[in-house]
Amino acid sequence: MSQRRVLVFSAGAVPHPESGASVVLFYQYIEGLLRAGFKVHHLLIPKSKTDDEEEVARYRAQISPVGSITIESAQCSNPIQRRFGGFRFDHKSLAEPLQRASDFRADVFLGLDFLSYWAAEPLNFPFRMAWLGDLNFQTQWFHALCQAKEQPVEVFRIPSAWKRARYWRETYRQVLKTADKVIVSSGSSVAQLQALEIQSSYHPYPWPHSPEKSMEAESTSQKEEPTFLFCGGLNALGAKSALLFILKQLHPRLLRIWGEQSFRIIIAGRGSPSGWARAAMADCKEIDFRGFVEDLDLVMAECHALIVPIDIPVGNRSRIVTALAKGWLVIAHRFTQAGNPDLKDGENCYLAEDAHSFAQRMRMAYEDSDAVARVRSNAITCYRENFLPERAVARLIEEFPTPSD
């Protein structure tokens, strides 16, 4: 039997084994396919005119020794164009790489996220698979809602955001109806796509980490005062939601429990929070804003838990998966369970539905060390059973059609 062929399209940044969010799991999927014996042709569709040549060369040098792969970076500008009543994809801008992709004669086409799947629309394949991250129409809508909460004047943009989200919903419905299989990385996407008459399956994604490095007992450097960490890309939707929750709802509750300057919330991450958030943090003596931190493990050693108060039902946050792998205690808003259904309150994390219950679980994290130790151990087990790369990639491959003799 000849070597089976998988054509992979991905858009945006170049895949990387460690640095980034979606680009890390893209790398893990492609590496897993190669290790499973598939021959891969990978087309990179950059956001800008061209990918950084050094980044593409680095990626090629890292992945090529693993197996049989050809890598091409398309030379195009943004192929998504607005049109009356929605959007269109300029497939002509990808004419030459699409022809080479067709010549590859793949057994399976895998589009890593929506734009990548849409790019292959003119081509014929025996089997089409779409893997989806956050859904555009959800993220754009919640961005608009968060901006309106941050700056009330932004409420006037809500109607246009609603219209844009509606256009994206219709685009998803039209494009994905050709897929033989749709895999979603966020559990909440299943119901969203079902409403569009698109059937999908939730898969935990491959996320690399060695949990054995963090299985030691409680750190001796943990602070005596209640200390907690929030981290992530501070310009991203999840961080905007979390900072609104922390500064406007959670912080006042914690003051009632512990009092002024008797607890700390460390905030770390790349990017700069919005102006209102910076001003609010400056007014809160209990907020320790550190910006980008090179070694989060050292920071977490000071803390009793990682808090993830993202109160929007979008996404499957990689920071939570990383924390599970490390055996950190996670306290998250219950909406994060919509994205990651493997989260179980009181079993491998603590979940809360409002500021009051969130504050109470933070108090439990500080006071009940025996319960915390059990939850931390279960968190590592959850990671191993669901997000370990070899397990997650194997689940994806199981969705491929059985090869004919």
Give the chain as a 3 state SS string: CCCCEEEEEEECCCCCCCCCCHHHHHHHHHHHHHHCCCEEEEEEECCCCCCCHHHHHHHHHHHHHHCCEEEEECCCCCCEEEECCEEEECHHHHHHHHHHHHHCCCCEEEEECHHHHHHCCCCCCCCEEEEECCCHHHHHHHHHHHHHHHCHHHHHHHHHHHHHHHHHHHHHHHHHCCCCEEEECCCHHHHHHHCCCCCCEECCCCCCCCHHHHCCCCCCCCCCCCEEEEECCCCCHHHHHHHHHHHHHHHHHHHHHHCCCCCEEEEECCCCCCHHHHHHHHHCCCEEEEECCCCHHHHHCCCCEEEECCCCCCCCCHHHHHHHHHCCCEEEECHHHHHCCCCCECCCEEEECCHHHHHHHHHHHHHCHHHHHHHHHHHHHHHHHHCCHHHHHHHHHHCCCCCCC
- Stretch 375-381: mean pLDDT: 96
The CATH H-level (homologous superfamily) assignment of domain 211-386 is Glycogen Phosphorylase B; (3.40.50.2000)
On whether the pTM is more than 0.85, the answer is yes
Q: How confident is the model at residue 316 (pLDDT cuts 50, 70, 90)?
A: low
- Stretch 374-398: mean pLDDT: 96
Q: Are strands 264-268 and 128-132 parallel, antiparallel or unpaired?
A: unpaired
- Stretch 365-393: mean pLDDT: 95
- Stretch 136-164: mean pLDDT: 85
Chain mean pLDDT for the chain: 90
- Stretch 179-187: mean pLDDT: 96
Percent of the chain whose predicted confidence (pLDDT) is above 70 = 94
CA distance 17 to 25: 8
CA distance 252 to 248: 7
Percent of the chain whose predicted confidence (pLDDT) is above 90 = 68
Q: What is the pLDDT of residue 24?
A: 94
Q: What is the pLDDT of residue 317?
A: 83
> Tens digits of per-residue pLDDT, 335-369?
999 999 999 999 999 999 999 999 999 999 999 99
| Residue 231: pLDDT over 70 | yes
- Stretch 374-387: mean pLDDT: 96
What residue spans define the domains of the chain?
5-206+389-398, 211-386
Q: Do domains 5-206+389-398 and 211-386 have the same CATH topology?
A: yes
Q: What is the pLDDT of residue 37?
A: 96
Distances (CA, A) of 363 to 255, 285, 304, 324, 359: 12, 19, 10, 20, 6
> Tens digits of per-residue pLDDT, 5-30?
999 999 988 999 987 778 999 999 99
> Tens digits of per-residue pLDDT, 30-80?
999 999 999 999 999 987 655 578 889 999 999 999 999 999 998 776 788
Q: What is the pLDDT of residue 190?
A: 95
Q: How confident is the model at residue 215 (pLDDT cuts 50, 70, 90)?
A: very low
- Stretch 91-102: mean pLDDT: 93
The CATH H-level (homologous superfamily) assignment of domain 5-206+389-398 is Glycogen Phosphorylase B; (3.40.50.2000)
| Residue 217: pLDDT over 50 | no
| Residue 383: pLDDT over 50 | yes
